[in-house]
Amino acid sequence: MLREIARLLDEWLIDREVEARVEGLPRPRACTIRVLGQAALLERGLPLQLAATRDVDVRADFEDSARQRFAALLAAKGRELDPLAHEAWMPRETRYEEIFRGKFVRLLLADVEAILISKARMAPGKNRQLLTEYLAIGPSDRFIELAQKYDVDLEQFT
């Protein structure tokens, strides 16, 4: 779903570029949208029981008009751009995978291990079921390393 929204946003920005050229205005600025949290996990289609959420947490460098359009595109799909996403903690080692690249829009998903460490560190009670399930199927070495580095007690999820 997020790829489709990124594609639609890119098309909208291309249309704005054409209008800007005709009217002699500055062209739109390219943007990179980094998707964090549950929305990134849902987009990856993980074999985990994920709670459905309307919120989409992103860190992006878009202009306000592009942000508003992105929010409207999300709303049309029953989702909501989380206004507090900039407050979300993510490990410095977070890796991002590009899942869409258009003329103006790049869409990246945060890696699973970093998202789960964030959830375990910042809201362990709320995410207990998800983390217990992840640990039961066998966490990655990277997840274990991040847990140790960020002092996350994994025993609370067993």
Give tens-digit pLDDT for 68-87: 999 999 999 999 999 988 88
CA distance 67 to 44: 23
Vertex 120: Cα angle to 117 and 122 (nearest 5): 100
Helix (H) or strand (E) holding 18: helix 2-23
64: helix, strand or coil: helix
Q: Does residue 47 register a pLDDT over 90?
A: no
pLDDT at 52: 65
Q: Does residue 51 register a pLDDT over 80?
A: no
pTM for the model:
0.91
Q: What tokens were used for 65?
A: 């008009």
